[in-house]
Amino acid sequence: MNKSKDDSILLTHILEHSFDEIFIADATGMVLYASQSTETVFGIPCEQIVNHNIFELEKQGLFSPSVIASVLRTNKEVTLIQETNHNRKLIISGYPVYDQSGIVIGATSFSRDITEFESLRKENEQVARALLKYQEENEKLREQATQPFFISNRKMEKVFEVVSKVADINITVLLEGESGVGKNHIGYKMHQMSSRKAEPFIEVNCGAIPESLFESELFGYEEGAFTGSKKGGKKGYFEIAGKGTLFLDEIGELPLNLQVKLLSVLQNQTFMRIGGTKKIEVNCRIICATNQNLEKMIKERKFREDLYYRINVIKVEIPPLRERKEEIIPLIYEITEQVNRKYQLNSYFTPTMAAWLSQQNWPGNVRELQNYIEKKIITSSGNEIDLDWGEEETKKDSFTQSTKEIPLNDYIETLEKEYIVRMYHKYPSSIKLAEILGISQSTANRKIQKYVEQR
Ligand SMILES: Nc1ncnc2c1ncn2[C@@H]1O[C@H](COP(=O)(O)OP(=O)(O)OP(=O)(O)O)[C@@H](O)[C@H]1O
């Protein structure tokens, strides 16, 4: 057997089966070997390369630059990424080849096609970016879900704590507070926070339904139950609420005889339609609300004590707005956004106006503030709604009187506080806040702590 011939066959076999495209050139740049796959990658047939000088080929622009030529010029290893005329992206490494005395006798280069790898990398980057975005959105949604109200007041923090704890527990909750403080609003938020959120939320104003209709409205009736009853009968609110939430507003307005009926339903967890014989199970969760002093009503024998204890498993007292003035500014911006959306406007209250509004007492609570804002927006001529000193200075508790002659630093801090609270309400994340306000995240965190959390 001819050993050197066999060695040559073995060497060619290895070269041809390598994953890389391989070039071998002598010290003058004459190409001695080029892999067969070179044509697919570079778009140049092997015959145009082998036995041609690499410096010439480079001059002709077939390789720009040629790694082999670079190696021979510098006698150093070279690695670069190159895009071929065939739109393939390659990572190419070239190495000088030395003889035993250390003289360069040629060069080799190994190219790996990374086109697919590159597009996968790009795709991967896109997926990573999209994932980050979803994570941010998810984080935002999670924050919103766990913090459904804007809370910047200790008393409201307590309200939120209790409400969040019991939102998904099937116990009757009694919400107490002056008219307009947001009892319905909180009742609905509780429903949204519960696993019943996809089911109906049915609001019943106990004070608005005539006594004679109350039973049929609440429990429904069977066909023919009374003259004028609908064909096929009618579902009552308990049935309509299904597995959702039944919000019994103004429970104190319920006449005594109906209080007995409601108590019986709550105790037995079943009811019957008027004229019906079948017991229907109560599946809904009950939330009651009142702006009356039920304990006083019990003493006056206007409200049944047994029903009171039944609905008062958990009592949540919602403070009036005047006891949580810190929340007025965020509310102003939230309500303004709602009104703007409703009328497709772009109105806004100046910080001075917002600060002034936050000093007022609002005896009608959030509802009064809401009506005021809506009226102001509708009746104002421009987008900006500023404090009209002439109109407002007669009112008590005015911002002018309390802050007109305060030190400049205090005034600036008041404005800064208002702005941070408003922006944090809109972007409840220190990263986003920092980005919007052009400040560092640590500054944003400090300001959130100072103005939002420490109150
Ligand atoms: N935190 C809040 N954010 C935005 N709007 C609110 C908030 N709280 C209350 N509101 C709005 O204020 C108005 C009055 O609130 P709501 O009806 O919940 O008060 P209420 O205490 O149930 O009043 P009532 O005792 O008269 O039934 C509603 O239009 C409600 O949407």
Counting beta carbons within 10 angstroms of the beta carbon of residue 30, is it exposed (0 to 12), middle (13 to 18) or buried (19 or more)?
Answer: middle
Task: State the CATH architecture for 3-113.
Answer: 2-Layer Sandwich (3.30)
Strand stretches in 124-210, DSSP E:
173-176, 201-205
Whose CA is closest to 189, among 159, 209, 214, 215?
159
For strands 314-317 and 173-176, give the pairing: parallel
| pLDDT tens digits, one per residue of 150-166 | 556 778 888 888 999 89
Give residue-wise pLDDT tens across range 272-316: 998 888 999 999 999 999 999 999 999 999 999 999 999 998 999
pLDDT (mean) for 224-235: 75
Per-residue pLDDT for 61 more than 90? no
| CATH number of the 323-453 domain | 1.10.8.60
| pLDDT for position 372 | 92
* Domain 154-319 homologous superfamily, CATH: P-loop containing nucleotide triphosphate hydrolases (3.40.50.300)
pTM of the shown model:
0.58
Residue nearest to atom 9 of ligand 1 (CA): 182
Please say if the pLDDT value at position 393 is more than 70.
no
Q: What per-residue confidence (pLDDT) applies to 109?
A: 93
Largest pairwise CA distance in the chain: 121
* H and E: helices and strands count for the chain: 20, 16
- 162 Cβ contact partners less than 8 Å away, ≥ 6 residues apart: 314, 316
Pocket perturbation via mutation, ligand 1, pick of 247, 367, 373, 422 by most ligand atoms within 8 A of CB: 367
| Distance in Å from the first CA to the final CA of the chain | 94
- Tell whether ligand 1 has an atom less than 6 A from the beta carbon of residue 190: no
Q: Alpha-carbon distance 173 to 153, whole Å?
A: 22
- pLDDT recorded at residue 437: 87
Ligand 1 center to 170 CA (angstroms): 23
Looking at per-residue pLDDT, the higher value among 442 and 150 belongs to 442
Is the pLDDT reported for residue 404 higher than 70?
no
**What is the structure's pLDDT at 139?**
61
CA of residue 372 to ligand 1 center, whole Å: 14
pLDDT-derived band at 394, boundaries 50, 70, 90: very low
Does the pLDDT value for residue 362 go beyond 70? yes
Main-chain dihedrals φ then ψ at residue 289, nearest 5 degrees: -140, 150
Per-residue model confidence (pLDDT) at position 105: 94
Res 151: pLDDT:
58
Q: Is 149 in the pocket of ligand 1 (CB under 6 A)?
A: yes
- 3-class secondary structure, 376: helix
Select the more confidently predicted residue: 414 or 259. 259
Which ranges in 147-224 belong to alpha helices (H)?
154-166, 183-193, 211-219
Position 103 confidence tier, pLDDT thresholds 50, 70, 90: very high
Closest residue by CA, ligand 1 atom 23: 180
Q: 406-427 b/e with 16+ CB inside 10 Å = b?
A: eeeeeeeebeebbbbbbbbbeb
